[in-house]
Amino acid sequence: MRILITGGAGFLGSHLADRFLAEGHSVIAMDNLITGNTDNIAHLAGRPDFRFIRHDVTHYIFLDGPIDAVLHFASPASPIDYLKYPIQTLKVGALGTHNALGVAKHKNARFLLASTSEIYGDPLVHPQREDYPGNVVTIGPRGVYDEAKRFAEALTMAYHRAHKVDTRIVRIFNTFGERMRLDDGRVVPNFIGQALRREPLTVYGDGSQTRSFCYVADLIEGLFRLLMLPPSEDAANPVNIGNPNEMSILEFAKVVNMLTDNPAGIIFKKQDRIEGDPQTRQPDITRARKLLGWEPRVALHEGLQRTIRYFEGRV
């Protein structure tokens, strides 16, 4: 297969490129490098089965030759990024998705959309199932990301129904691992960076807010299986991919300190809650288990140890 990955120089896009190349496919990674980094794909430079194109996918995408699959992963994904680039986030969710779907339609290619657990907003249902419509504040600061992805899902299903494009939608829950940016503002690199600098970990509020953490290798396996499913109406509907093992942020901070032998402990800071910021986040992965035969395999401690080793040379 010849595969286009938008956002191909990002955290997840670069891991996807590695996986598809390892399976014998060829990859075109497309990225405007707003939040992506060519360091993530530097090890692939010079390979005949890999090509990098610097391009903003909110503009028309032209590619010669056949394309068998389009994986649309271009978007700022951390709060610090989409709050810094709110217009770009909305545009890549709308115009970027439209252009990527246009490539899939023109090339008769399979299409996979990277959606997010953020489409559930601050959920009133726990854990979150794919049929839960969400509790999202459309005009809040996080709305630029939430609504971009919700629109992208709607557009993907419109192309599936109106143009018969073979589509997939994955709702990605908190994922961590190598190639995350140390400064991307998410809790895993924040805590690991502080711990490796021997600083106390900063926990906002009392740390009772919960998250579930999926190691990147597990996520990539789920994405690979989803893309490779035979076409069906069931395959076109959204699928949660994430780790259902929920824990509090305070518990998570203690684990990071233990794994890094950080003696500085934890400090608590008061923070006014950001509108729409979820207090709980836990995927119901029943559908992924049934449809894909998938569930996470890498234990939290093992995934964190790998991630810590990656960050040790970057702090």
Domain spans of the chain, in order of start: 2-175+215-241, 177-212+244-282+297-312
pTM as predicted = 0.95
Q: Do 2-175+215-241 and 177-212+244-282+297-312 fold alike per CATH?
A: no
pLDDT in tens, 282-302: 999 999 999 999 999 999 999
Neighbours of 70 (CB within 10 A): 29
> For 137-191, how does the pLDDT look when each residue is reduced to its tens digit (9 = 90+)?
999 999 999 999 999 999 999 999 999 999 999 999 999 999 999 988 899 999 9
The pair of structure tokens assigned to 168 is 């997939």
Determine whether domain 2-175+215-241 maps to CATH 3.30.300.30: no
pLDDT band of residue 65 (cuts 50, 70, 90) is very high
CATH 3.40.50.720 assigned to domain 177-212+244-282+297-312? The reply is no
Contact 240, 114 (CB under 8 A): no
- Of residues 149, 137, 10, 156, the one with CA closest to residue 70: 156
**What is the reported pLDDT for 272?**
58
pLDDT in tens, 67-92: 999 999 999 999 999 999 999 999 99
Q: What is the mean pLDDT of residues 192-213?
A: 94
Rounded CA separation 315/311 (Å): 6
Task: Dig out the tokens for 172 from the structure.
Answer: 């990605």
The mean per-residue pLDDT over the stretch 106-123 comes to: 96
The residues assigned a catalytic role are 145
Is the C-alpha dihedral spanning 96, 98, 99, 103 positive or negative? positive
E strand or H helix at 212, and its extent? strand 210-212
Proportion of the chain above pLDDT 90, given as a percent: 90
The whole-angstrom separation of Cα 190 and Cα 181 is 10
Residue 315 confidence (pLDDT) above 90: no
The per-residue pLDDT for 270 is: 84
Q: Tell me which residue has tokens 């998570």.
A: 252
